[in-house]
Every structure is written in structure tokens, then in C-alpha cells.
Amino acid sequence: MSNPSLLILPGDGIGQEVMAEVRKIIDWFGEKRDLTFDVSEDLVGGAAYDAHGTPLHDDTMAKAQEVDAVLLGAVGGPKYDDLDFAVKPERGLLRLRKEMDLFSNLRPAQCFDALADFSSLKKDLVAGLDIMIVRELTSGSYFGEPRGIFMEEGQRVGINTQRYTEAEIDRVARSAFELARRRNNKVCSMEKANVMESGILWRDVVTEVHAADYADVELSHMYADAGAMQLVRAPKQFDVILTDNLFGDLLSDTAAMLTGSLGMLPSASLGAPMENGRPKAMYEPVHGSAPDIMGQDKANPSACVLSFAMALRYSFDQGAEADRLEAAVEAVLASGVRTGDLMQADGGKPVGCAAMGDAIIAALEASL
């Protein structure tokens, strides 16, 4: 059997340097765990624009469709702020999501014990926090038509459309219920059924899918604004949060901040199963390209490393090795080794991105 394939797209800003650490870890799994991947690398975002005049070359898109999983670093940066909308770095990422049909975006917000003090909330509210946000990723107001800026009665009008079909809600709801069964069996679905028809349909379809096939899972509904409030009031009440594309964008950043650092959070974007039974998949850290610290060996590679751990779990059936890698990251944090994003004002000297990667590898070695 051939090795599983992985396309690496480091992208822009700190994407390059965090991915270099992940590559060391991938090599480690090849050498020490007999888990070898066929790794290829390509450009996305501003880096692709610089080389090809487009944030995602068609060849890269085609490769992404063929591999078992894509691992992406980050896209964007001030250098590209003035580009036309159609070729902005973000368009490359959105094209990957859309054309691979990665409708289910898993964003864990997990508070590592060693970092509970870094949260903007009181420690007892966040210690032990473990939420999974399931964000619909290929529809809603990010993609709905009509969209654009039009002239109307002598003035410009900006239009985006919140649009969801039953089938789109159904499939992402199923992925949330399936996930809940493997966790604490609770789903809270968030929309604005009080003001939006798309929210009414969302609530109805989620309720129907639940009644038909997932009655064993505890289901609740919340208006998304109330959900945002509850998320900062008492976040531990949640297990899986199911929501649409735009609300999910906002709620996942809120949830991320509860954990103390964006530099720790991975994500998985999953589509329908391919011929080999694996879901189409892309994995990426939740943090952005952080141009202010790029190229200075200051970035925290953990989120990208943990994204690879999610790939091991969801794409490669290597749950035990994913556990090993997650435990290694936790052990490094517990030992007090921290990158700059995790330091407090009176903290010790932070380590750099490469040293953090080395520390994770040392913890992996120690796990053998």
C-alpha cells in the first residue's frame, strides 16, 4: 500500500516558520513510529500571488483534491491589503474550502491546565474547558448570491446573502451529532431564528435530524447573541456548539480567547468521504499570519502541530499517535517552556519557534 499523502501549504507570515516545525515532527513520526507520509509542498495566499498572480494556482487546487489531507499555515498580510478583492490571499483559502466542499469546520477550544492563568476570564471559569465548535464552512453569507457592491438610486449598496439549503444544514448537523457521541453527547445549536428565516430553517432541520437519528444526544438551541454571552459567562456548560459560517467565525474567535492563546488552537475542515473512506480534509491553525512577528523565530508552532495531530486522528486513523502528540505538547507547556505569546509580564525568557518545536520532539522521544 502506498503511503498516505499530505499537501503542505505554509502560506504567508509565520505560516512558513510554524510549518517548518511541523515538518520536523512529521519526519519524527516517519523515523520513530514507522508512519511515513508522501509530503508535497506548494504555495497559497500572498506567496502564491507573488509567484503566479493568483492566491491559489489551479495546479495547487488540483493537487489539494487528490491528496489524503492538506495542512495549511496561514494567509494574508499588510503587503496584500491593497490588492483587488478577487486576488486577496484570503480568496485562496476560501477557494480551497469551497471546491473541496469542506462543510464541517471543527474548532476545539481547549484550555490547557498550564495556561488557565492566561485566559482573560477567571481561572475557575476556564480550567478544564473543552468545547468543540462545529462551524458550517461552505455556505451562508460567505458564499450566498446575490453578492457585490451595486449602484441603486444614485448610491452604492453592499450586498451579501445569508442562504442555507436543507441539505447543507442536514449534513453539518450530522457531523456535529456524530462528534458529540464521541465526546460528552451534548449539542447546542446557535442561530438567529428570532430575526432570520435562514435561522428558522436551521433550527427546524437540526431538530428534525436529531429526532430522526440522534435522539440519544442532548440537543439545545440558543440565539447566537445569547450564545456569545453564555460563552463568556459560563463556557463550561457547552460540549459541541453547532453554528453557521459567519456566527461560527465570531464565536470561534471568542471561544479561542477563553483558552488563553490563539497560538495553541488547531482546526480541521472536513468534507464528504472520499473513495478510500477518509473525509476530504484540510487542517490549519486558528491563528493568522501574524506579520508583526514573522521571520523572527517568535511564533508558537503548537497550533499547527496540533492541527497535524487532528490530521492523524481524523484523516489517518492514528488516534493513539494523535494522543501521543497532544500529550507531548501538554508536557512541554507543563514543563514551563513557553513561546512569547504565552508569557506574562513577569514571566521568564520565552523560547523561539524552533526551540518550541525541538521541545515537542524531545517530549515525543520521552514518550517512547
Residue with smallest beta-carbon separation from ligand IPM? 90
Note whether 284 and 71 are within 8 A (CB).
yes
Q: Of the residues 49, 68, 88, 142, which is catalytic?
A: 142
Of 101 and 249, nearer to ligand IPM (C-beta) is: 249
Choice among 42, 80, 192, 280 that is catalytic = 192
Q: Which is nearer to ligand IPM, 77 or 279 (CB)?
A: 77
In the bound state with Mg ion, the residue whose beta carbon lies nearer, of 75 and 219, is 75
Alpha-carbon dihedral angle through residues 87, 93, 95, 96, given to the nearest 10 degrees: 150
C-alpha cell at 217: 444526544
* Residue 101, binding choice from ligand IPM, Mg ion, none, Cβ under 5 to 8 Å by partner class: none
Q: Does residue 90 touch ligand IPM according to CB under 6 A?
A: yes
Rank residues 4 and 46 by Cβ distance to Mg ion and give the closer one: 46
Between 56 and 93, CB nearer to ligand IPM: 93
Answer yes or no whether residue 90 interacts with Mg ion by CB under 5 A.
no
Q: Is 124 a catalytic residue?
A: no
Q: Which residues contact 39 (CB under 8 A, 6 or more apart)?
A: 5, 6, 7, 8, 23, 26
Element (H, E) at 328: helix 319-334
| Strands of the 69-74 sheet, one edge to the other | 38-41, 5-11, 69-74, 279-285, 266-273, 104-110, 130-136, 240-243, 186-191, 218-223
Which three three-digit cell numbers place residue 199? 435561522
Among 27, 249, 297, 321, the residue binding Mg ion under the rule CB under 5 A is 249
Active site residue 346: no
Cell of 322: 494523535
- Please tell me whether residue 249 binds ligand IPM under the rule CB under 6 A: yes
CB of 93 to ligand IPM, least distance (A): 6
Q: What is d(CA 147, CA 158) in angstroms, rounded to the nearest whole number?
A: 8
What interhelical angle do 58-66 and 89-99 show, nearest 10?
Answer: 40
Q: What region does 134 belong to: left with phi over 0, alpha with psi -120 to 50, or beta?
A: beta
Point out which span in 26-34, 86-94, 180-188, 353-361 binds ligand IPM (CB under 6 A): 86-94
- Which CB, 45 or 357, lies closer to ligand IPM? 45
**Which CB atom, from 28 or from 143, has the smaller least distance to ligand IPM?**
143
CB of 80 to ligand IPM, least distance (A): 12
Active site residue 314: no
- Is the distance from CB of 174 to CB of 208 less than 8 angstroms? no
Q: Is 196 helix (H, G, I), strand (E, B) or coil?
A: coil
Out of 9, 22, 93, 169, the only residue in the binding site for ligand IPM (CB under 6 A) is 93
Please choose which of ligand IPM, Mg ion, none residue 93 contacts, taking the beta carbon within 5 to 8 angstroms, the exact cut-off set by kind.
ligand IPM
Q: Considering only 85-93, 173-181, 248-256, 264-272, which stretch makes contact with Mg ion by CB under 5 A? A: 248-256
| Shortest reach from residue 249's CB to Mg ion, in Å | 4
- Interface segment toward ligand IPM; rule CB under 6 A; list 87-95, 117-125, 219-227, 354-362: 87-95
Closest CA to 96 of 174, 171, 42: 42
Q: Is 134 in the site for ligand IPM (CB under 6 A)?
A: no
Annotated catalytic, 50?
Answer: no
Region binding Mg ion by CB under 5 A among candidate stretches 53-61, 123-131, 216-224, 249-257: 249-257
Active site residue 192: yes
Q: Phi and psi dihedrals of 79, rounded to 5?
A: -55, -25
On the CB side of 198, how many CA atoms lie within 13 Å of its CA?
Answer: 20
ω into residue 146 within 30 of 0, thus cis? yes
Question: Amino acid letter at 223?
Answer: Y
99 binds ligand IPM (CB under 6 A): no
Return the closest-CA partner of residue 118 out of 228, 257, 298.
257
Q: Which residues are tagged catalytic? A: 142, 192, 225, 249, 253
**Which residues make up the interface to Mg ion (CB under 5 A)?**
249
**Which residues contact ligand IPM (rule: CB under 6 A)?**
90, 93-94, 249
